[in-house]
Chains A and B, each alone.
Chain A
Amino acid sequence: GIQVEQSPPDLILQEGANSTLRCNFSDSVNNLQWFHQNPWGQLINLFYIPSGTKQNGRLSATTVATERYSLLYISSSQTTDSGVYFCAVEETSGSRLTFGEGTQLTVNP
């Protein structure tokens, strides 16, 4: 099956800093999504981005499908951005989403 690698595994920031999270995948994909898992476990949809660039407020994402990676940018981070960020991809051979191991982000005041 497809391999999904996220980096870094852990990231600690001061409030106001910017950061870039990376997701590499080993095969062609139909779909790529970024999620934020809050402290209660809820997965919040951030981006549905199989290719191209999207922006939503302080967050933006870019997927370069031909090079098999995606980046999530967080600007002017806030303490409420803390949590785990997951990248998930859907292989071209099927409908299942495969998750990366996540990036644990901690934003300190």
Chain B
Amino acid sequence: GAVVSQHPSWVICKSGTSVKIECRSLDFQATTMFWYRQFPKQSLMLMATSNEGSKATYEQGVEKDKFLINHASLTLSTLTVTSAHPEDSSFYICSARTGGAGWVVNTEAFFGQGTRLTVV
């Protein structure tokens, strides 16, 4: 299957600092990537849809100024958690679909390894 690589796997940061998480599609192009958040013992919740070359689409209740998304190329999307606070501690996972540039619907989704963020 397709490979999606996420980095870093885990990060500890101080409250008030910013953290950047990278998501790369290694063997296919992805015009659209997705960012999820998962709290312990819970399901994955979609935070935003990242679109190459344009602004991300955020789900209701997700602060776009706090969770900055940049999708500068067909293989890389980044999520920056700005001015992190302890309540931002969570597991963040990215996903990309394999439909090729410009086609997402009804294609298989693959996920990165996830990033465990701890804010102290």
A interface with B by C-beta (< 8 Å):
30-31, 33, 35, 40-43, 45, 48, 50, 86, 88, 90, 94-102
Taken together as a complex, chains A and B put the C-alpha atoms of A43 and B107 apart, in Å, by: 17
* Nearest CB in chain B to that of A98: its residue: B46
Shortest Cβ gap from A71 to chain B (Å): 19
Query: What 0/1 readout, one digit per residue, does chain B (91-119) give for beta carbons within 8 Å of chain A?
Result: 10101010000001111111101101000
B interface with A by C-beta (< 8 Å):
1, 32, 34, 38, 42-46, 49, 91, 93, 95, 97, 104-111, 113-114, 116
Taken together as a complex, chains A and B put the C-alpha atoms of A88 and B34 apart, in Å, by: 14
Most buried by A among B1, B46, B105, B108: B105
Given contacts A41-B91, A41-B113, A41-B114, A99 and B106 within 8 Å (CB-CB): no
Shortest Cβ gap from B30 to chain A (Å): 12
Taken together as a complex, chains A and B put the C-alpha atoms of A99 and B42 apart, in Å, by: 10
A-B contact count (CB 8 A): 57
Main secondary structure of the interface of A (DSSP, over half): strand
- Inter-subunit contact A41/B106 (CB<8 Å): no
- Inter-subunit contact A33/B109 (CB<8 Å): yes
Q: B113 — which chain A residues lie within 8 A by C-beta?
A: 40-42
- Inter-subunit contact B43/A90 (CB<8 Å): no
Shortest Cβ gap from B52 to chain A (Å): 14
* Nearest CB in chain B to that of A44: its residue: B111
Q: A96 — which chain B residues lie within 8 A by C-beta?
A: 34, 46, 49
Q: B1 — which chain A residues lie within 8 A by C-beta?
A: 45
Taken together as a complex, chains A and B put the C-alpha atoms of A33 and B111 apart, in Å, by: 12
* Nearest CB in chain A to that of B106: its residue: A30
- Inter-subunit contact B49/A41 (CB<8 Å): no
Shortest Cβ gap from B46 to chain A (Å): 6
Taken together as a complex, chains A and B put the C-alpha atoms of A99 and B37 apart, in Å, by: 12
